[in-house]
Structures are given as structure tokens and as C-alpha cells.
Amino acid sequence: MSRAPHRRFTWHLFLASLFLIALTARATTLVRLRFPDLVHYASAIARVRCVGADIRVENGEIFTDTRFHVLETEKGRLPAQIVVRQPGGTYQHMHSHVEGAPEFRIGEEVYLFLWGRPGRQFFVLGWSQGTFRLHRDALSGKETVTQDSAEIPVFDPEAKAFTKMGVKNLRLDIFQERVRREVLRALP
């Protein structure tokens, strides 16, 4: 490619980028839950480690019950092990799938904002919005937290505006402080 068309292409891409950025007025099929909303609605918030999963069939529907060891609880009271139910899973030769439902790997550590009651299965509040993945830097050992829905422009019906307020690569200690501050604020 000669230099002139190359420059023209660059300029077109730049203009296209600006146009697209200006069009961030899009919403998700999920209603945005602000971080304080997530803390408020959550029955429990905990750092957990995925230890396994079981497929269940109830009323003809296929679910995946993922088992987690509770490592640290930030809100609510949880037993040492909890079960989080997700729609979908593989049963015999049938693969049931719901797009957008979070999936977990054995051994993975996450912070989950849970919806439900102890003694029964929990659900992840707002699916991708209530799932916060932990990443540990191999060199420094420092941990960061990234929300599955991070960087997703979502619509706030109250503010009538679109924002990208997801948590992305946030230092763990700062994330924990935010959670604890909101938990305290939500106390009566």
C-alpha cells in the first residue's frame, strides 16, 4: 500500500472511531446495576474457589450447580461450601446453553455477588455483573479484580445515560475496601 492511501485509511479509521465512540448510547439486555446496587441486592458477597460442578435436571430443565469453597465473606453468612446454580449444562447428549451465563473453571478464584438464600442454591446476581475474576500477577504476586461486564456500556434508566462503570484490573485491596464501605453504608 502506498503512503497516501495508507494515510487516508488511517484518517478514515480515526473518524470511524470517533463516530463509534460517540455512539456509546447503547444498553445491555441487562439493566445496569451500579456497584452500590450490586452490594445492596446481593444476599452475600464472597471470595470463592471453584471446586467442581454437577449437572442437574429439574422440571425438565438442565442446570449446572457449581460448587465453591468460601474463602472470605464480605457480606452475609455462608457455609464453608456453597452451590451456585447456572442455567445450562450438558446432560447425556443434550447441550443446554444460555448465552451470557458466567462459566467457571475448577481452581478459579472469583468474587461472587450472590442472589438467593443459604441452604438452597445461589444465583449470580446480574450474571456477568456479579462476577469478578481474580488475576494474580506471576511476577509480583499482586492480585487484581475484573468484573465480567467491565467495559460494557450499559444504560442507566434513572440517569438516562450510558456509562462504562465496570471494575477492571482494580487492585484487590481497593476492591475490598469499596465492598466493605458499601456494605457498611447499607447497614440500617
Q: By C-beta, is 127 or 175 nearer to another protein?
A: 127
- CA 160 – CA 69 distance, rounded (Å): 39
Footprint on residues 70-109 left by another protein (CB under 8 A): 85-88, 92-103
Burial of 138 (0-12, 13-18, 19+ CB in 10 A): exposed
Decide if 100 contacts 128 (C-beta within 8 A). Answer: yes
In angstroms, give the least distance from the CB of 157 to another protein.
6
Q: Which residue has the cell 487484581?
A: 144
Footprint on residues 16-45 left by another protein (CB under 8 A): 16-17, 20-21, 23-33, 37, 41
Among the listed residues 131, 94, 99, the one whose alpha carbon sits nearest the alpha carbon of residue 114 = 131
Q: By C-beta, is 48 or 62 nearer to another protein?
A: 62
Residue 115 engages another protein in binding (rule: CB under 8 A) = yes
Residue 138 engages another protein in binding (rule: CB under 8 A) = no
Among the listed residues 43, 39, 42, 47, the one whose alpha carbon sits nearest the alpha carbon of residue 72 = 47
In angstroms, give the least distance from the CB of 91 to another protein.
9
| Residue 132 β-bridge partners | 111, 147
Decide if 70 contacts 143 (C-beta within 8 A). Answer: no
Residue 9 engages another protein in binding (rule: CB under 8 A) = yes
Answer for which of 61, 72, 173, 177 binds another protein (CB under 8 A) is: 61
Answer for which of 46, 112, 154, 170 binds another protein (CB under 8 A) is: 154
As given in the structure block, the three cell numbers for residue 127 are: 450474571
Q: By C-beta, is 16 or 174 nearer to another protein?
A: 16
In angstroms, give the least distance from the CB of 76 to another protein.
15
As given in the structure block, the three cell numbers for residue 23 are: 455512539
81-87 vs 44-58, strand pairing mode: unpaired
- CA 179 – CA 31 distance, rounded (Å): 20
In angstroms, give the least distance from the CB of 20 to another protein.
5
Q: Which residues contact another protein (rule: CB under 8 A)?
A: 1, 6, 9-10, 12-14, 16-17, 20-21, 23-33, 37, 41, 59-62, 85-88, 92-103, 115, 123-131, 148-155, 157, 162
